Amino acid sequence: TVPGALTGQTVLITAGPTREPIDAVRFIANRSSGRMGFAVAAAAADAGAQVILIAGPTAQPTPPGVTRIDVETATDMHAATLSRAADSDLVIAAAAVADYRVARPADRKVRKADTPPSLELIPNPDIIRDVAEIVDGPFTVGFAAETHEVTDHARDKLTDKGLDMIAANQVGEGRGFEVSENTLEVLWRTGQQTIGPMPKERLGRALITLIGERFHATR
Ligand code: PMT
């Protein structure tokens, strides 16, 4: 086999935002377009992997050869991912998952009142952390979206969540989310490599090449 290729491997990828309902018509979400994660999914399929893409709400088209499972909330994404993770060889978490959800979403539209309502938030499960805890589980790759001290915060997440690799990107005004180009600082326990800036489609291919190398070096 070609070094770095993912031929014969099953790869689970999360992508896009999650939506956390406030009431029947409103939700909390974020700026993820799904573009980065979908590019990684397309690249993994091109590298010969069997790809399952667990996607939050996005307008992205499904890449050829990829099996797509649509979800809305972090809780749904967690269930869809954890039920398939043990049977996967690699799990790559590119989704921008809400850290919190509304404690008691209303099943009707909340009516405007004289006093503004307040929302009680409770923590969501951490999907990639739970995947990394599976004994003899898949090779895990997280992303880190940071506005400052990108490398330090990403290395903390790599260690704290027990991941094999992490791809960090700077986010903020016109960077990371939504835009077509991106730069990734990829970290693992014994090394690091910067890829980009380049269009997310090319970046996805370069990231998959690097992930393939590290995966084959450690398994
Ligand atoms: O979708 P685009 O518009 O193309 O933008 C791409 C991107 C900026 C969303 C993407 O490159 C990116 O950085 N994705 C991860 C965003 C994020 O939520 O990062 P984080 O640093 O908050 O989370 C760290 C890691 O834990 C991520 O792999 C995340 O998927 C995972 N996580 C976080 C919370 C949670 N409850 N479960 C998780 O699995």
> Is 117 inside a domain boundary?
no
Cα-to-chain-centroid distance, residue 153: 17
List 191's β-bridge partners, or say none: 188
Q: What is the whole-number distance in angstroms between the Cα of residue 145 and the centre of ligand 1? A: 6
Structural domain includes residue 167: yes
pLDDT in tens, 82-97: 999 999 999 999 999 9
Q: Is residue 4 part of a domain?
A: no
Beta-strand (E) ranges in the chain?
A: 10-15, 20-21, 27-28, 50-55, 66-70, 90-93, 100-102, 121-123, 139-146, 165-170, 181-188, 191-199
Q: What is the CATH number of the domain that holds 18?
A: 3.40.50.10300
Ligand 1 pocket mutation pick from 14, 101, 143 by most atoms within 8 angstroms of CB: 143
Interface ipTM > 0.95:
yes
Tell me if 169 is assigned to some domain: yes
Active site residues: 30
Write the CB contacts of 160 (distance below 8 Å, at least 6 apart in sequence): none
Q: How many domains does the chain have?
A: 1
**Is the full-model pTM beyond 0.95?**
yes
Mutate to test the pocket of ligand 1, among 128, 141, 165, 170 (most ligand atoms within 8 A of CB): 128
Is 115 inside any structural domain?
no
Write out pLDDT tens, residues 18-74.
999 999 999 999 999 999 999 999 999 999 999 999 999 999 999 999 999 999 999
